[in-house]
Amino acid sequence: MIETIQWTESGVVMIDQTRLPREEIYVTCSDHLQVADAIRSMVIRGAPAIGVAAAMGIALGMQNAVSAADFDQICETLRRTRPTAVNLFWAIERMRRVFAEAAGRSLPEIREKLISEAIQIRFEDIAINECIGKNGAALIPDRKTVLTHCNAGALATAGYGTALGVIRAAVAAGKHIDVFADETRPFLQGARLTVWELQHDHIPATLITDNMAGHFLHSGRIGCVLVGADRIAANGDVANKIGTYSLAVLAKENNVPFYVAAPISTLDLSLASGDQIPIEQRAAAEVTHVQGVPVAPEGTAVLNPAFDVTPNRYVSAIITERGVARAPYLESLRKQLT
């Protein structure tokens, strides 16, 4: 299995996702500021993986803290890394609860409790993804191609993946499928990470550029579109990597089902609709440069929203570890939480 993130004696070890696929390098973060930097610079990325990293970052921060009073500042530093994936805030809240329950205990005891919670979050995430896989595998049409966007795989989680977890489970169940991976401009998670990950597991993968999706959705070859999510509002609107919305519209136009695979920790039922989801704006250089090489004139005006929101009417089903939710999502998602 690909190890995305691990708690070790020497610190939090992550595979550097900015260097893949050319180099398989692991970085070790020895304080929470390094973890925050790793999240911001996308050494580690993907909603569930960001959550695990934040939890481990807090545990690491408290290892180095001189007093329990440092806890809030450490949480705040991690909160300010990326705004869209709700798993980040979910994980910080979980660590906060453990900290609150440990009130009055000695600093070494608090540290121990935070470390075991962070390790537990990582461990649970893998098990949750395996459940998502089992719940979603039946939806994947046999002898067809699955189109995916960005990377919602082992690299985006503690292991196994959400959307790619469903693909792994479908393959394990004997389905004959292959995958089309959108390259996912501007950060190229599809080209660099999804293809690398699928090759690792010997699942046939074909790379296409984002603007080829309509052509292939019209061709009849694509059995379904399957993506992950960064935040899902109460009405089933889904925030995911920029370009997901266009894919969903094209899927509906061509009568191809559009599925979202995500853990319960990606649900944000406090938001009535996707309009309230904060969308991260990233640096212009990600658009004007490809792997450090400029592809646009100097001084070019750029917009770089990292995510978009797919309205619920385009979403055929949302697969979680608790089952498969369908419209009306206001009811079906609430039911998953009870």
Report, as residue numbers or ranges, the catalytic residues: 230
Residue 228 binds ligand MRU, judged by CB under 6 A? yes
> Under rule CB under 6 A, which residues in 239-278 are in contact with ligand MRU?
240-241
Question: Parallel, antiparallel, or unpaired: how do β-strands 205-208 and 267-268 relate?
Answer: unpaired
Stretch of 58-66, 92-100, 114-122, 154-162 lying at the interface with ligand MRU (CB under 6 A) = 154-162
Order of strands, sheet of 5-8, starting from the edge strand that comes earlier in the sequence: 5-8, 11-15, 26-29
Does 47 sit near ligand MRU (CB under 6 A)?
Answer: yes
Select the residue interacting with ligand MRU from 4, 34, 135, 162 (CB under 6 A). 162
Task: Tell me the per-residue interface mask from 77 to 116 with ligand MRU, x by CB under 6 A, - otherwise.
Answer: --------x-------------------------------
**Does residue 45 interact with ligand MRU by CB under 6 A?**
yes
Q: Minimal distance in Å, beta carbon 161 to ligand MRU?
A: 6
> Which residues does 239 contact at the CB level (< 8 Å), separation at least 6?
84, 229, 230, 231, 232, 233, 274, 277, 279, 307, 308, 309, 310
Does the protein bind ligand MRU through residue 48 (CB under 6 A)? yes
Query: Phi/psi of residue 302, each to 5°?
Result: -135, 145
305: burial class by Cβ within 10 Å (0-12, 13-18, 19+)? Answer: exposed
Least spacing, CB of residue 157 vs ligand MRU, in Å: 5
Identify residues 283-312 at the interface with ligand MRU (CB under 6 A). 306
How big is the chain by its Cα radius of gyration, in Å? 19
Give the interface segment with ligand MRU, choosing from 44-52, 59-67, 94-102, 130-138 (CB under 6 A): 44-52
Residue 56 or 229 with smaller CB distance to ligand MRU: 229
CB 181 within 8 A of CB 195: yes
Tally the C-alpha atoms within 13 A of residue 3's C-alpha that lie toward its C-beta. 11
Residues that bind ligand MRU (CB under 6 A): 45-48, 85, 150, 152, 156-157, 162, 189, 227-230, 240-241, 306
